[in-house]
């Protein structure tokens, strides 16, 4: 891989930038998350040394990722959507995501974006999610919160 797109989990998980030999990039929101999680010093040092670059994803890629998120039903943050969109933009340059987040990995598979893990084992297969009523067993698209028949709060499960 020529480019690694770093998620916060890769920084927390101890991904060693100096050993990768690749260009390292991320989105600004990861810096904000790193500050909140106490990994700020290590991350900012890598930024100041020019080892990691902050980039922005294109609007087209952001929109494409949002459509896939709506289709799969994965629960991800705006930061995660930005990372996936950036990786999609950089895919022609050989980009891969570095993340231990299973939802991001699932979406990366759906978008045909290569990924690698920092510490945890990666996912084995791709999922789409649905919402199911535990009372009457009606199935709804992911994102629906309440059963339209009986009013019970829905639970999320993988689509069969």
Where does the pLDDT of residue 19 fall: very low under 50, low under 70, confident under 90, or very high at 90 and above? low
Give the start-to-end residue ranges of the domains of the chain.
3-116, 129-158
b/e code 128-157 from CB counts within 10 Å (16+ = b): ebbbbbeeeeeebebebeebeeeeeebeee
pTM for the full predicted model: 0.76
To the nearest 10°, the Cα dihedral for 133, 128, 10, 61?
A: -120
Domain 3-116 listed as CATH 2.60.120.20: no
Q: In this predicted model, what pLDDT tens digit does every residue of 43-91 receive, in sequence order?
A: 777 778 777 889 999 999 999 999 999 888 888 999 999 999 999 999 9
């Amino acid at each position: 891989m020529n480019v690694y797109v770093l998620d916060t989990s890769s920084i927390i998980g101890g991904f060693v930038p100096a050993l990768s030999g690749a260009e390292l990039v991320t989105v600004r929101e990861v810096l904000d998350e790193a500050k909140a999680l106490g990994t700020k010093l290590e991350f900012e040092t890598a930024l100041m040394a020019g080892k990691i670059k902050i980039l922005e994803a294109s609007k087209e890629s952001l929109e494409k990722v949002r459509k896939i998120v709506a289709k799969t039903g994965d629960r991800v943050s705006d930061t995660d959507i930005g990372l996936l969109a950036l990786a999609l933009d950089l895919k022609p340059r050989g980009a891969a995501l570095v993340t231990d987040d299973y939802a991001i990995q699932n979406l990366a598979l759906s978008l045909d974006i290569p990924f690698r893990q920092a510490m945890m084992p990666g996912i084995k297969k791709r999922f789409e999610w649905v919402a199911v009523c535990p009372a009457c067993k009606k199935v709804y698209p992911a994102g629906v919160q309440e059963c339209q028949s009986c009013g019970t709060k829905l639970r999320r499960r993988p689509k069969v």
